[in-house]
Amino acid sequence: MKMKAPFLPPMSLGLRCLKNVGTTRIESSLLYSTTTAQKYDLVVIGGGSGGLACAKEAAGYGAKVAVLDYVTPSPHGTVWGLGGTCVNVGCIPKKLMHQAALLGKSVKDAAAFGWSVPPAELQLNWHQLVTAVTNHVGSLNWGHRVALRDKRVTYLNASGTMLDRHTVLAKDRKDVETVLQTDNVVLATGGRPRYPTFAGAELAITSDDLFRLRQPPGRTLCVGGSYVSLECAGFLTGLGFDTSVLLRSIPLRGFDQQMAGLVVSAMENLGTRVVRGSEPLRLERTAAGRLRVSLTPSGDGQPPDEEYDTVLLAVGRDPDTRRLGLDALGVTTDRRSGKIVTDPGNRTSVDNIYAIGDIVQGAPELTPTAIVSGRLLADRLYGGSSQLLDLATVPTTVFTPLEYSCVGLSEESAAEMVGGDDQLEVYHAFYRPLEFIIPGRDTSSCYIKAVCERREPQRVLGLHFIGPNAGEVLQGFAVAMRHGMTMESLRQAIGIHPTSAEEVVKLNISKRSGRDPTVTGC
């Protein structure tokens, strides 16, 4: 396959400005010509985790590829560069702020280890933190651009709309339009935070704004009980802000609820206030410039009105598909979620149009799954592969101050799968991370659980770990889980001493035994 031709000069065909022309279509009195076709093998709409991975992999096989990426400003006007949610307003800035909060805690711990750290001198400079995070993100934006150039992928900082199944209209910030003709299209436009409909909701920010706030957030309410809300509340508390979580129902829906309860109680022990059983009714700006939040009655005595400096909405994300022109093309979406329905090979209801990442119905909203599905799709389209993404054992970590990582099933789902609790053997341990002992940190939520089939050889169906560096601990076990790890193989493994991870291979007390699962001694 040949590499891209240079862009053609603009043509005036009733458009404000039209650069690359490739096919014929009449829409809203706009005419696009086919005569000077700028043809691609693949056009990827969305330059985030999945789209970039797919584009680079496809280019590696010699396909002629273009990627369109365009960030619509958040309602508060926040914008960012190439790389999608993870790089700009997700995993990366979140993990860096989590790390900043952990460091603050470690500096306090240091006194117990003999360092003289005057507590009064420990002050967070929010502006410096935001600058450091934004600079790192900027370097990643640049790295992605260079990587596309090196792979000879055409990058357009433009919003993509499908005119027909082989034609994509790209419109940039200045409304300059480019028409691309392509054999295949991959939709990878990710999601954006959902704004609920209560009065004044637009006064609240979302995770799209938090990591670039010019002013420190001050007293903050995080609305929602899942990953985004708990993670943001966790690091904001750790950074010294008075932070509350508004939990309308259960925390971390879909996760093992014993573990979720421990995560929340660890957060409360570290200073996050949790308001349970309530939702926002109304948000209004006070004369003093603060935000007054009116809540539905909670039943646990919370005042119905409270003032905050910042309200962060983290109530879920909606697929960013509005501008794609899916309806006109007949691409099937799920009625409730609005996500795109695909077959296991990521093909939509239109056979040369594929979808990957967060916009796919039923796919986990996680970066590694978006990346792998993008790569595997390119391998199938251009590399002769037939391999599909296997979602059976996808590990994940919730980066609350005390991290929670898991792979496989929750105890609840495992019981359902095997036909009841009686068919399960659950091994567990409360342990004390060595580094927590001298500074006297609370260890009551440091807990490990292996949910196994009761029948031999006791295949591990779910592995759950709460403690420091939980994601680092569980990544390797996730590999073993993929290969059918059993309790016997876990027991045969030799631990690495002294670590928290070794407590996983030392698990030996089952819930059924009723024995005290607290690890004592070395």
Q: Is 225 annotated as a binding residue?
A: yes
Catalytic residue among 76, 98, 127, 497: 497
The 10 Å Cβ neighbour count of residue 116 is 6
Q: Is 151 annotated as a binding residue?
A: no
Q: Is 84 annotated as a binding residue?
A: no
Indicate the residue among 193 and 217 with the shorter CB distance to ligand NDP.
193
CB of 357 to ligand FAD, least distance (A): 2
Indicate the residue among 47 and 517 with the shorter CB distance to ligand FAD.
47
**Contact partner at residue 323 from ligand FAD, ligand NDP, none, CB < 5 to 8 Å by partner kind:** ligand FAD
**Residue 44: closest CA among 59, 34, 30, 33:** 59
**Contact partner at residue 248 from ligand NDP, ligand FAD, none, CB < 5 to 8 Å by partner kind:** ligand NDP
497 is catalytic: yes
CB 180 within 8 A of CB 66: yes
Query: In the 8-state DSSP scheme, what is residue 421?
Result: G
Task: List residues binding ligand FAD (CB under 6 A).
Answer: 45-51, 68-71, 84-86, 90-91, 94, 159-160, 188-190, 207, 228, 320, 323-324, 357-358, 365-368, 370, 399
From residue 243, alpha-carbon distances to 106, 233, 308, 309, 386 in Å are 20, 6, 9, 10, 48
Amino acid at residue number 423: Q
**Contact partner at residue 86 from ligand NDP, ligand FAD, none, CB < 5 to 8 Å by partner kind:** ligand FAD
CB of 371 to ligand NDP, least distance (A): 13
d(CA 325, CA 328): 6
**Contact partner at residue 368 from ligand FAD, ligand NDP, none, CB < 5 to 8 Å by partner kind:** ligand FAD
Indicate the residue among 206 and 342 with the shorter CB distance to ligand NDP.
206
d(CA 33, CA 31): 7
Residue 497: Cβ-neighbour burial (10 angstroms; 0-12, 13-18, 19+) = exposed
d(CA 103, CA 99): 6
Q: Does 109 contact ligand NDP by CB under 6 A?
A: no
Q: Is 83 annotated as a binding residue?
A: no
Indicate the residue among 41 and 365 with the shorter CB distance to ligand NDP.
365
**Contact partner at residue 376 from ligand NDP, ligand FAD, none, CB < 5 to 8 Å by partner kind:** none
**Contact partner at residue 372 from ligand FAD, ligand NDP, none, CB < 5 to 8 Å by partner kind:** none
Extract the tokens encoding 23.
């096919």
Indicate the residue among 177 and 365 with the shorter CB distance to ligand FAD.
365
- How many residues lie near ligand NDP (CB under 6 A)? 25
- For residue 298, give the 3-state DSSP assignment: coil
Q: Is 229 annotated as a binding residue?
A: yes
> Which range touches ligand NDP (CB under 6 A), out of 105-113, 127-135, 236-244, 245-253?
245-253
Binding residues for ligand NDP restricted to 304-343, rule: CB under 6 A: 314-317
H-type helices in 330-469, by residue range? 367-382, 411-418, 434-437
Q: Is 358 annotated as a binding residue?
A: yes
Q: Is 195 annotated as a binding residue?
A: no
Indicate the residue among 174 and 335 with the shorter CB distance to ligand NDP.
335
Query: In the 8-state DSSP scheme, what is residue 347?
Result: B
**Contact partner at residue 85 from ligand NDP, ligand FAD, none, CB < 5 to 8 Å by partner kind:** ligand FAD
Q: Is 32 annotated as a binding residue?
A: no
CB 237 within 8 A of CB 401: yes
What burial letters (b/e) apply to 304-334, b meaning 16+ CB within 10 Å? eebebbbbbbbbebbbbbebbbbeebebebe
**Residue 402: closest CA among 347, 353, 451, 447:** 447
From residue 150, alpha-carbon distances to 59, 269, 296 in Å are 10, 49, 54
Residue nearest to ligand FAD (CB): 48
Q: Binding pattern to ligand NDP, positions 386-405, x when CB under 6 A?
A: ----------xxxx------
Indicate the residue among 324 and 463 with the shorter CB distance to ligand FAD.
324
Q: Return the beta strands (E) in 8-92 as ranges.
A: 25-27, 30-32, 39-45, 65-68
- For residue 194, give the 3-state DSSP assignment: coil
**Residue 506: closest CA among 519, 34, 372, 453:** 519
Q: Is 160 annotated as a binding residue?
A: yes
Catalytic residues: 497
Residues that bind ligand NDP (CB under 6 A): 196, 223-229, 231, 246, 248-249, 253, 279, 314-317, 364-366, 396-399
Annotated binding site for NAD(+): 224-231, 316
**Which residues carry a binding-site annotation?**
95, 160, 224-231, 316, 358
